[in-house]
Structure 1
Amino acid sequence: MATGETGFADVTYDLISVQYHALKAGHDYGQYVRDAKNAGLDDLASFFEQVMEEDSERAKRCHEFLKELMTSDDDAGPAVD
């Protein structure tokens, strides 16, 4: 498995990146839900809640993939020279 400049396998870095961005976006979407509700736009609030739920599920899937990589592939962790 290729190892990038981070010292981690590229796929591990990629999963961590997707997980981070999904969790960060989920945090931001909470504000979007509040903004829509405060504006009386319940349909829009529901949309933001759906998007937030999808990102939460995406982050969970990344977590599961990372667990699988860590238990099945010694190359998934930090590179050792």
Structure 2
Amino acid sequence: MATGETGFDDVSFDLISVQYHSLKAGHDYGQYVRDARNAGENEIAEFFEQVMAEDSERARRCHEFLNQIRQTSKAGPAVR
């Protein structure tokens, strides 16, 4: 596995990136839910809540995968 200048292998870096963006988006979606509720758009608010839950699950899966590869020789020094 290639290790870039960051000390992270490509797969670890990719998982961390997806995890970060999923968590960041989830934070932003909270505001979208509030905006939709304040506008009386409950169906849209529910849609944003669903998207937020999907991103939360995505971030959780990334965390599991990172823990999984950390215990293998595939992990770069920054993940161990």
Asked whether the two chains share a fold, i.e. TM above 0.5, the reply is yes
Residue in structure 2 matched with residue 2 of structure 1 by the alignment: 2
Residue in structure 1 matched with residue 11 of structure 2 by the alignment: 11
Residue in structure 1 matched with residue 35 of structure 2 by the alignment: 35
Look up the SS of the partner of 2:74 in the other structure: helix
**1:21 is aligned to 2:21:** yes
Residue in structure 2 matched with residue 78 of structure 1 by the alignment: 77
Amino acid at match of 2:44: L
TM-score (norm 1): 0.91
CA distance in 2, matches of 1:44, 1:59: 23
Aligned CA-pair RMSD = 1.1
Amino acid at match of 1:13: F
The structural deviation recorded for 1:64 is: 0.4
Alignment of 1:37-52 (within 5 A): 37-52=37-52
CA distance in 2, matches of 1:75, 1:24: 27
Unpaired runs of at least 5, structure 2? none
Amino acid at match of 2:40: G
Q: Is the 8 A contact 2:3 2:76 kept in 1?
A: no
Identity %: 74
4+ residue runs over 4 A deviation: none
Of Structure 1 and Structure 2, which has the larger fraction of its residues in helix? 1
CA distance in 1, matches of 2:77, 2:9: 7
Unpaired runs of at least 5, structure 1? none
The structural deviation recorded for 1:78 is: 2.0
Q: Residue by residue, what CA displacement relative to the aligned partner does 1:10-57 show, whole Å, maximum 9, x if unpaired?
A: 100110010000000000000000000000000100000000000000
